[in-house]
Amino acid sequence: MRHITTRSQFLVSLVGLAIALATVGCRSRRVDLTVRYATSLTAVLGDLSTSYHKRHANVHIQLDPSGSQVAARKISELGMKADVVAVADARLIDKMLVPGHAAWSAVFATNEIVIAHMDHSRFTDQVTDKNWPQFLTRPEIRLGRANPDTAPIGYNALFVWQLAERSGVFGQDGIDLERRLKARCSPEHVVQNEADLLSLLESRAIDYAFMFRSTVEDHHLKMVRLPDAMNLSRVDLTDTYAAAKVEVRMKQGDERALLTGAPVTYGVTIPKNAPHASVAADFLTFVMGQEGRRAFIRRGFHPLSPATCTVCTALPPALAKIVRPGASR
């Protein structure tokens, strides 16, 4: 009887060991988490991906930067998979991915538009927030901008130009301002995203570009800050920004859609085709949590605490703890 009992205990222990080893194996199995995101998030997501990997050695985060619309089209039109999609205009998720390719979206940070320049830029020591239309419309100025159809920084710049023109604060220099600024952008200086704009500026191909403040601060560029009524930074000025309008193509082959000016808001979702949805949710709790917010502040963003959502019932349980209902966009 004692022999049988000992043998039974041995078998139970063996089964327990096998289960434990299997559990460890599952936890240590390599996970390649794909994040497709707006180029202006490159630095901060690089920081947070490294920090997350140190805590979860089996999770390898594959970062894929592009313009926000391009990131969304990779899912909706090309059928590419992603675990996380993060864009520089939260409205794009609702317009391009919900409901067919994503069930929810959350807003987690804001930003503002500034004028970026460098030591090589013509009139670099003379341009201010009060006279920039006078200098940036001069024939010798080389201005760069992004394509509104591929990246929000493209249509955000146009929003700023329209708002500056409508404001009346620049007198004669503000008349027909949008058209005159467009004329300073040669075709080769109309690029796909903000990373391309940055390259043009740093290579001295252009003198000025309207960019996100976070990018300008992160790369230690010179900047001219704009009045709140035209820099797209204030949620309470949504009605003011809405006076600007730009037609944008959301999907290839579709009619152009009319977008109104709005505060810069960064949005995120986990697509329905995410291969690792639960890991993606855990990663986003880290990104939108306390350490993530500190990283965003260091990189020049204004993180929301808490992040907000409009379709909150579809949030993963892990995110429902840190994302709260917000106003409709």
Q: Looking at residues 298-309, what average pLDDT do you find?
A: 94
Q: Over 60: is that where the pLDDT of 236 sits?
A: yes
Q: Provide the pLDDT for residue 5.
A: 47
Q: Provide the pLDDT for residue 13.
A: 47
- Among 199-208, 215-224, 235-244, 307-316, the least confident range: 307-316
Q: Provide the pLDDT for residue 321.
A: 87
Q: Provide the pLDDT for residue 2.
A: 46
- Region 30-110+264-325: CATH code: 3.40.190.10
For the chain, percent of residues with pLDDT exceeding 70: 91
Q: Provide the pLDDT for residue 328.
A: 59
- Region 113-260: CATH code: 3.40.190.10
- Among 137-141, 237-241, 319-323, the least confident range: 319-323
Q: Over 60: is that where the pLDDT of 11 sits?
A: no
Q: Provide the pLDDT for residue 313.
A: 79
Per-domain residue ranges of the chain: 30-110+264-325, 113-260
**E strand spans, the chain:** 31-38, 59-66, 84-87, 106-110, 113-117, 143-146, 190-191, 208-212, 222-225, 245-248, 257-260, 265-269, 302-309, 323-325
- 30-110+264-325 with 113-260: one CATH topology? yes
- Among 12-16, 153-157, 191-195, 206-210, the least confident range: 12-16
pLDDT in tens, 21-32: 343 444 569 999
Q: Directed axis angle between helix 290-298 and helix 42-55, to 10°?
A: 150
Q: Per-residue confidence at 327, pLDDT binned at 50, 70, 90?
A: low
Q: Per-residue confidence at 329, pLDDT binned at 50, 70, 90?
A: low
- Among 2-6, 106-110, 315-319, the least confident range: 2-6
Q: Provide the pLDDT for residue 1.
A: 46
Q: Looking at residues 297-318, what average pLDDT do you find?
A: 91
Q: Looking at residues 197-208, what average pLDDT do you find?
A: 98
Q: Over 50: is that where the pLDDT of 170 sits?
A: yes
Alpha-carbon gap, residue 190 to 63, rounded angstroms: 25
Q: Looking at residues 300-318, what average pLDDT do you find?
A: 91
Q: Over 50: is that where the pLDDT of 89 sits?
A: yes
Q: List for the chain the helix, strand, coil content (%; round to 5).
A: 45, 20, 35
Mean pLDDT of the chain: 91
Count the alpha carbons within 13 Å of 288 in the hemisphere toward its beta carbon: 29
